[in-house]
């Protein structure tokens, strides 16, 4: 049952997928619930085919200015619009209430939510959690930042289904009543600082996932960084049950950790050993922690251990996330295009112990501090091939590391970087695209970058097979 009854005059911010989805949902509402719908794109927006289709269906469309015209009972904002922007503030001033899209979706359908956030690992953990629920025969749908707009799923949602929501800091920044039954915080490392303004503001947005938890709920929180540790302390001071996510046993009543090479979850003092870490298809300690978070959620919900084990053992790497593409002439090519920040790359590098790694690094420069990252790469990799807009800055940081083993190479684009990697690689090497940057200097997004890399690998395989 919706927490919102009559919606009245509604403004929707953003011409992208989320804005279009929200408008389509509003158009489906019973007569009298929505008085009018106004879709506002902002100063730089242009009317495309989907927006024109909404206009033809009766949606009023505004663009060409960041000043919102009219007055509204409710504004629903797309997550990519900062709450400090002129467009957001103008809409807020013109509205009785302003909500982000996940908050609106929650208020429309506020039962059986699982919320997952963190700088890295969200999508893998969301997919794994959904898989565990589905293995147990539950109706579950992965929604949110994973690529499926939550509002899109509202009309078809069954009363007994679970929403497993991957929630970005952008989406959480405007939440108010969002109340998952299980909420996870996987990690907090510097990212999206240009949007939030500071690391502290970014961390505060992440922490909002726990704002409405009560004693009947479970928080699953990493012990691996100072921000998460502080969040755990605040939650426990509120009387919230916290499952500590750690590499080794933290000794708490609720914990998820690795012991003797196996995944172990302890809830209310009861301990359950799940599967061996090396039996997982997903590589690295960070993915073992992702699996632990998903398993702890499943056990808390009462799912049987056999279903959880099967789900963990069957789960395959997601596209663009440490995705093995192919082995050619003894060289493994791995697509980790989703690694758009330095912390994510550092985790990926742990996935190939005792291997010679050729790291493809670069893209659109986020301006991240590189000193510690450069030391890690230089100590771990045989070669670092730096490309794209950020290539020169990454190469300079790596060359300043004293005593590092990585040989540094610069190339203008991904294609040339890949060709150089092929020349350098020897049997037993790993060629890893894990760029630590967004892709917008050369590609439309990280997915296109990953697809181009995979096509380069396929072309190489065909070339080698024809020799």
DSSP notation for 32-86: TTEEEEEEE--TT----HHHHHHHHTT-EEE-S-SSPPS-BSEEEE-TTS-TTSH
For the segment 357-387, what is each residue's pLDDT rounded down to a tens digit?
Answer: 999 999 998 888 899 999 999 999 999 999 9
Q: Is 123 annotated as a binding residue?
A: yes
What mean pLDDT, rounded, does the chain reach?
A: 93
Q: Is 64 annotated as a binding residue?
A: no
Q: Which has the closest alpha carbon to 113: 178, 174, 157?
A: 178
For the segment 261-298, what is each residue's pLDDT rounded down to a tens digit?
Answer: 999 999 999 999 999 999 999 988 999 999 999 999 99
Q: Which of 21-30, 109-118, 194-203, 242-251 has the lowest mean pLDDT?
A: 194-203
194: pLDDT strictly greater than 70: no
**Is the pTM higher than 0.85?**
no
Cα 305-243-373 angle, rounded to 5 deg? 110
**Of 77 and 343, which is predicted with more confidence?**
77
393: pLDDT strictly greater than 90: yes
Q: Which has the closest alpha carbon to 90: 71, 64, 116, 110?
A: 71
Q: Which of 197-206, 222-231, 394-403 has the lowest mean pLDDT?
A: 197-206
Cα 33-36-38 angle, rounded to 5 deg? 135
Give 1's pLDDT tier (boundaries 50, 70, 90).
low
Give 4's pLDDT tier (boundaries 50, 70, 90).
confident
Cβ–Cβ < 8 Å for 125, 290: yes
**Mean pLDDT, rounded, for 326-338:** 95
Helices 17-27 and 101-108 pack at an angle, to 10 degrees, of 30
Supply the DSSP symbol for 438. B
Give percent of the chain with pLDDT exceeding 70. 98
Contacts by 189-192 with C-beta closer than 8 Å and gap 24+?
Answer: 189/119, 189/120, 189/225, 189/341, 189/342, 189/343, 190/119, 190/341, 190/342, 190/343, 190/368, 190/369, 191/119, 191/340, 191/341, 191/343, 191/366
Supply the DSSP symbol for 318. P
Q: Which two tokens stand for residue 240?
A: 């919230």
**Mean pLDDT, rounded, for 87-105:** 96
Q: Specify the 3-state DSSP secondary structure of 92.
A: helix
Q: Which two tokens stand for residue 58?
A: 């009766």
**What is the distance between the alpha carbons of residues 272 and 259, in angstroms, rounded to a whole number?**
11
pLDDT at 317: 82
Torsion sign across C-alpha atoms 127, 128, 131, 136? negative
Supply the DSSP symbol for 209. G
Domains and CATH numbers, the chain: 8-103 (3.40.50.720), 109-314 (3.40.1190.10), 323-466 (3.90.190.20)
pLDDT at 79: 85
Cβ–Cβ < 8 Å for 448, 407: no
Q: Is 121 annotated as a binding residue?
A: yes
Cβ–Cβ < 8 Å for 382, 355: no
Q: Which two tokens stand for residue 130?
A: 């959904």
Give 197's pLDDT tier (boundaries 50, 70, 90).
low
Q: Which two tokens stand for residue 292?
A: 């632990």
Q: Is 18 annotated as a binding residue?
A: no
Residues contacting residue 71 through CB under 8 Å, at least 6 positions apart: 9, 94, 95
Q: Which two tokens stand for residue 187?
A: 């990690």
pLDDT at 83: 84
**Mean pLDDT, rounded, for 162-189:** 93
Q: Which two tokens stand for residue 159?
A: 């009363």
pLDDT at 5: 87
206: pLDDT strictly greater than 60: yes
In the chain, % helix, strand, coil (3-state, to 5) comes to 35, 25, 40
Torsion sign across C-alpha atoms 105, 109, 115, 120? negative
Q: Is 252 annotated as a binding residue?
A: no
């Amino acid at each position: 049952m919706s927490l919102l009854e009559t919606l009245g005059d509604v403004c929707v911010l953003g011409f992208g997928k989320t804005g279009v989805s929200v408008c389509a949902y509003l158009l489906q509402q019973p007569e009298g619930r929505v008085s009018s719908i106004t879709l506002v794109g902002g100063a730089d927006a242009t009317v495309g085919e989907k927006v024109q289709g909404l206009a033809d269906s009766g949606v009023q469309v505004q663009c060409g200015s960041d000043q919102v015209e009219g007055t509204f009972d409710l504004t629903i904002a797309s997550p990519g619009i900062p709450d400090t922007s002129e467009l957001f503030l103008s809409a807020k001033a013109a509205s009785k209430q302003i909500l982000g899209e996940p908050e609106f979706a929650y208020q429309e359908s506020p039962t059986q939510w699982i919320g997952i956030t963190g700088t890295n690992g969200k999508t893998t953990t969301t997919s794994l959690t959904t898989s565990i629920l589905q293995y147990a025969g539950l109706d579950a749908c992965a929604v949110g930042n994973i690529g499926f707009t939550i509002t899109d799923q509202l009309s078809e949602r069954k009363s007994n289904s679970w929403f497993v929501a991957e929630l970005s800091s952008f989406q959480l920044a405007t939440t108010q009543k969002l109340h998952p039954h299980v909420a996870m915080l996987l990690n907090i490392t510097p990212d999206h600082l240009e949007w939030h303004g500071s690391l502290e503001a970014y961390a505060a947005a992440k922490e909002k996932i726990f704002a409405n938890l009560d004693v009947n709920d479970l928080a699953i929180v990493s012990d691996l960084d100072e921000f998460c540790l502080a969040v755990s302390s605040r939650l426990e001071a509120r009387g919230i049950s916290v499952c500590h996510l750690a590499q080794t046993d933290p000794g708490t009543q609720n914990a998820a950790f690795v012991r003797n090479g196996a995944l172990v979850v302890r809830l209310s003092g009861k301990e359950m050993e799940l599967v061996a870490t090396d039996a997982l298809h997903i590589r690295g300690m960070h993915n073992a922690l992702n699996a632990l978070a998903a398993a702890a959620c499943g056990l808390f919900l009462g799912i049987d251990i056999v279903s959880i084990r099967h789900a963990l053992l069957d789960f395959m790497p997601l596209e663009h996330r440490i995705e093995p593409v192919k082995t050619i002439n003894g060289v493994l090519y791995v697509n980790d295009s989703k690694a758009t920040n330095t912390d994510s790359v550092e985790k990926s590098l742990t996935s190939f112990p005792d291997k010679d790694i050729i790291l493809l690094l670069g893209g659109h420069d986020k301006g991240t501090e590189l000193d510690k990252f450069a030391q890690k790469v230089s100590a771990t990799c045989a070669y670092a091939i730096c490309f794209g807009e950020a290539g020169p800055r990454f190469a300079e940081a790596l060359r300043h590391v004293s005593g590092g083993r990585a040989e540094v190479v610069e190339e203008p684009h991904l294609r040339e970087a890949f060709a150089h990697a092929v020349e350098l690689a020897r049997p037993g090497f790993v060629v890893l695209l894990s760029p630590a940057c967004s892709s917008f200097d050369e590609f439309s997004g990280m997915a296109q970058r990953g697809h181009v890399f995979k096509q380069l690998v396929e072309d190489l395989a065909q070339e080698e097979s024809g020799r």
